[in-house]
Amino acid sequence: MSDKTEIQHQLAARYVIGSMRGGARKRFMRLLMTTPALREHVTFWEQHLYALTDTVPEREVSPKVWNQIERRLGWTQAEQSRNTWWLWGFSAAAALLLLNLLTFVAPFTPTPQAIERVAVVQNDDAQTLWLIKQQGQTLMVNAVGNIEQRADADYQLWMLPQSGSAPISLGLLPQQGERVLTIDTQINLNDVAALAVSREPLGGSPLDVPTGPVVFVTDIVIL
């Protein structure tokens, strides 16, 4: 194994384990978008390390705790009648805190309408740009603010598969307001390892891969 390959192998291990954080993790995820060899290293470590999770018993949320979390985040029906969920203004830290809470509470059976995943796209100054909520094959996207408005370009959302295969386009992001993206059923959203945003010509990338710069990368939080 060459020195370059060994470095890629070790970086992929840190990425999968979760010890790679902050700017280093974002730079690594940008490289994943354009480096097939790096995706192969990530797939190797995922296959070897994720198998360990099969030995850990699943723990889910009780209805009481889930209702309390929903009320605190403003996810109740009454709140929805006054404001859309996009005004909740929670940050990536709040989403991660919610994930930690779900790790330590008792089981329950989720309803079909339960939110599956949430992603918060931020810039380098930790300002929230887009909030993305997944329900089934639907992505509900809201442009929160702080987005550089471009009349000559579009922002395109990409999925980085856990399998290490090439990025998959999920559609164009709104520069303001809300947009619902309906994802083809052939795309397995449960296979997403991360999301990335590239800046493309109007109408999106002319190819099946990003042609413009990858400007933002984010993890997706599973609820």
CA distance 215 to 147: 11
* In the chain, % of residues over pLDDT 90: 27
Which uninterrupted H or E stretch holds 11? Answer: helix 3-17
pLDDT for the residue 58: 64
For the segment 193-198, the average pLDDT, to the nearest whole number, is 90
Stated as kind and residue range, the H or E segment containing 193 is strand 192-201
What backbone torsions phi and psi does residue 185 show, to the nearest 5 degrees? -65, -15
pLDDT at site 100: 54
Residues 181, 212, 89: CA angle, nearest 5 degrees: 45
Provide the H-helix boundaries in 22-139.
Answer: 22-34, 36-49, 63-73, 77-82, 92-103
Domain range list for the chain: 1-56, 58-222
What 3-state class would DSSP assign to 65? helix
Residue 72's pLDDT band (boundaries 50, 70, 90)?
Answer: low
Q: Are 118 and 133 in contact (CB under 8 A)?
A: yes
Instruction: Determine contact, residues 23/217, Cβ cutoff 8 Å.
Output: no
What confidence score (pLDDT) does residue 140 get?
93
Q: What is the overall mean pLDDT for the chain?
A: 76
The CATH number given to 58-222 is 2.60.40
SS3 breakdown of the chain: % helix, strand, coil, rounded to 5? 40, 25, 35
> Per-residue pLDDT averaged across 119-130, rounded?
86
pLDDT at residue 210, as a whole number: 92
pLDDT digits over 16-52, tens only? 777 777 777 777 777 777 777 877 887 777 777 666 6
Does residue 206 register a pLDDT over 90? Answer: yes
pTM of model > 0.85: no
Give the pLDDT mean for 69-95: 50
Which of the residue ranges 107-111, 131-135, 216-220 has the most confident prediction, judged by mean pLDDT? 131-135
Residue 82 has a pLDDT of 44
Average pLDDT over every residue of 174-181: 95
Residue 120 has a pLDDT of 86
